[in-house]
Chains A and B, each alone.
Chain A
């Protein structure tokens, strides 16, 4: 009882000790904030990666692909059919993308993925990352009339407006076609100024001289325009979905600037199958953008219909019409153990030909790096609290010296050594509770209002804390994990108690007579 009473009194009268635990408060605070933000980032990242890659990937090791996706799906179904929700085949090939912006051709190195529009959204979050609401409902490679999202639908409506998306779609395509037609007309006029008036007098024409007499005459001039000539105002090429960062950049204010929008045409160049591979290219029309917020994917992925890609690459068996594929994405039923299904599939398919990976395996290095980063940061931050522990040790030693006589009094009244030790251990614990308690409260409030605080800091310093041109999130993602918070607080408490053990032992070992004589 006297322990608690004295602890309470010391706590209320010894403010210097409270000063020593400010570092505990700071340590707990930073650890909670850093852990929450890192957890937010890594969870966000994992969700993205998982959403992009699907649960399991069944892939052939050759770029030329494996024949007959349907047969393989059937085989996979035989092995683990009860645990599989859906599957979708893809063709993956490195490619080169060209698009025109203000008359200049730009080139990007991309990963071209042929997907089945009908099933792709069922194995991954592919559909959720598209910019047209109708495409998110049901994906289609046909260009939409308009109505693309003006604001990033994943940001909760807080993202800045993307004005250029306002006229994307057929409207933009028609407008581009009109301008191009006008330009062509203008150029043609400029090249042949008043040509009919000087070189083709009506007299000559009526004489019926052979037309070939004029060597500079346009050999196709007499040809009638065919009905099926491609009219870009009314027709589109095969649809392609581009990663959003491929043709856009984000400026300092967080605005996305697009070099091309849905409705524009692009060229894709990629190798055919067979030896040696030959480069083939074809025109495509951007029908939508894909925004997974993982810049690695948003700058790299181009999706086109799988059938078209198979045709262009020569992956379709001419006699049977069965295509080759590179990978099958497998979505498992909820709650199924990924590794177990992976291992079952691995046992069934020869590993020389087929690689079977979970989404974690695919991004193992990245996830491990994030994990390591978090661990190292935690160790460093915990050292802050450990440093605070030494401060507590020093101040406790001084308090014990200051309280020497009181310790003598308590012992003369019959307090045991362990009781005296208990006073200082309890004192250390209560200081730890106060310090880490405040740290926890401040940390949790900080995490709760982290975006407001970041805005405030940006306003004060003039430097954006969380630069939206660097990160793909508009807000700092932060997730508070109760277990982590509990561990941090527990760690801080044990450090303060550990720091008070030495002074408490000194107090306990004081000789009562010497302590009473102490002045």
Chain B
């Protein structure tokens, strides 16, 4: 499958700009005529070659090869001293108490901790699903935690892909429609209809990539847990995100299936240079990541 991945994915290029939010995930080779972002390939290549001239080879793979710290890479996502507490009846329960966390471009970061340590909350804050009580979240150099709802919606739809422990597929839609749903949300009915064939090809290619090419018409309840999670990954990738946020992606799967999911994520990270932030409580899973951040009692454990 990894060969297939290689074939499907365009060759990764390191684009090291301080401001751009990281490379777009390029998934499908045969992207149709009208597909967006088709035109910027050349310019990004030019940019990449320009940066290459300054810094010889700084792809995460190269970094790994040379055992260089990821801190050299530009920060793609950045939580600065965030606090978050939930109200349970009259009691205010603090979840995060001053957490700062960097996510570098192209890295595979694992956030681990006991349940209740606030790791999922941190992920939600990073993914703009929730707003911190105090502190800021920066994405690609811009503060995002105080964006208006519409801006956050666009960010979640366009720049972030999300995977959940319980897969969270829509039960009324088929696998293919579930994968297409972020595109449907992104585009109005008319525009979606005009590009439906291109969208469909891309979704099918993604499902092929995660090994679900034969389950397009099935409803989620007819799929196994691993298949559902793979469909969820395909859904997260369909808008070509720059960042993948995974909340316990293996939490509900047996070990073998879990490993398979992690392998897909790692392949995406290595071959696509896709930034991945994964929350897990399983050390074995966390070990697959480039870097691990430990949370305990709402603080980063050093």
Contacts and interface: CB of A to CB of B under 8 A. Distances in A.
Contacts of A511: 130
Contacts of B157: 413-415
Interface in A105-148: none
A410 B153 CA distance: 10
A6 interface: yes
B55 interface: no
A2 B129 CA distance: 20
Interface in A414-464: 414-417, 419
Contacts of A513: 124, 129-130
A409 B163 CA distance: 10
Contact of B185 (A9, A408, A410, A417): A410
B170 A406 contact: yes
Contact of B192 (A1, A405, A414): A1
A15 to B, nearest CB: 14
B94 interface: no
A65 interface: no
B184 A409 contact: no
Interface in B177-227: 177, 181-182, 184-189, 192-193
A2 B193 CA distance: 11
B168 A405 contact: yes
B153 A414 contact: yes
Interface in B224-280: 235
B150 A1 contact: no
Contacts of A414: 153-158, 182, 185-186
Interface in B153-178: 153-158, 162, 164, 168-173, 177
A417 B173 contact: no
B238 to A, nearest CB: 10
B185 A419 contact: yes
A439 to B, nearest CB: 27
B185 A415 contact: yes
Interface string A399-410: 000000110111
A412 B181 contact: no
A516 B177 contact: no
A6 B170 contact: yes
B172 A412 contact: no
A416 B182 contact: no
B81 to A, nearest CB: 20
A13 interface: yes
A347 interface: no
Task: Determine the main DSSP class of B at the interface with A.
Answer: helix
A298 to B, nearest CB: 62
A1 B184 contact: yes
B29 interface: no
Contact of B189 (A4, A406, A416): A4
Given A9-B172, A416-B149, A416-B150, A1 B182 contact: no
B127 interface: yes
How big is chain B's contact interface, by range?
A: 20 to 34
A13 B221 CA distance: 14
A10 interface: yes
A513 B158 CA distance: 19
Given A1-B192, A1-B193, A406 B184 contact: no
Contacts of A410: 170, 181, 185
A9 B170 CA distance: 11
Given A2-B185, A414-B156, A414-B185, A409 B173 contact: no
A10 B172 contact: yes
Nearest to B182: A413
B173 A412 contact: no
A408 B186 CA distance: 16
A30 B131 CA distance: 52
A412 B156 contact: yes
A2 B168 contact: no
Interface in A39-93: none
A5 B173 contact: yes
A413 B149 contact: no
Contacts of B164: 412, 516
B162 A412 contact: yes
A512 interface: yes
Contact of B172 (A13, A411, A417, A419): A13
A417 B182 contact: no
Contacts of A408: 168
A413 B162 contact: yes
Interface in B102-126: 124
A42 to B, nearest CB: 45
A413 B173 CA distance: 15
Interface in A219-246: none
Contacts of A9: 172-173
Nearest to A14: B172
A413 B156 contact: yes
Interface in A475-507: none
Nearest to B191: A1
A365 to B, nearest CB: 56
A1 B185 CA distance: 7
A173 B248 CA distance: 107
Contact of A1 (B129, B168, B172, B187): B187
A410 to B, nearest CB: 7
A512 B127 CA distance: 11
Contacts of A416: 149-150, 153
Residue from the set B127, B150, B154, B170 with the largest chain A CB neighbour count within 10 Å: B170
A5 B171 CA distance: 13
Given A414-B182, A416-B150, A513-B129, A409 B177 contact: no
B92 to A, nearest CB: 16
A-B complex: 3 closest residue pairs judged by Cβ atoms: A414-B157, A9-B172, A2-B184
Given A6-B170, A415-B157, 13 more contacts: A1-B187, A2-B184, A410-B185, A411-B153, A413-B156, A413-B182, A413-B185, A414-B153, A414-B158, A415-B153, A512-B130, A516-B129, A516-B168
14 contacts: A1-B187, A2-B184, A5-B177, A5-B184, A6-B173, A9-B172, A406-B170, A406-B172, A409-B169, A410-B185, A413-B157, A414-B154, A415-B185, A516-B164
Interface of A: 1-2, 4-6, 9-10, 13, 405-406, 408-417, 419, 511-513, 516
Interface of B: 124, 127, 129-130, 149-150, 153-158, 162, 164, 168-173, 177, 181-182, 184-189, 192-193, 235
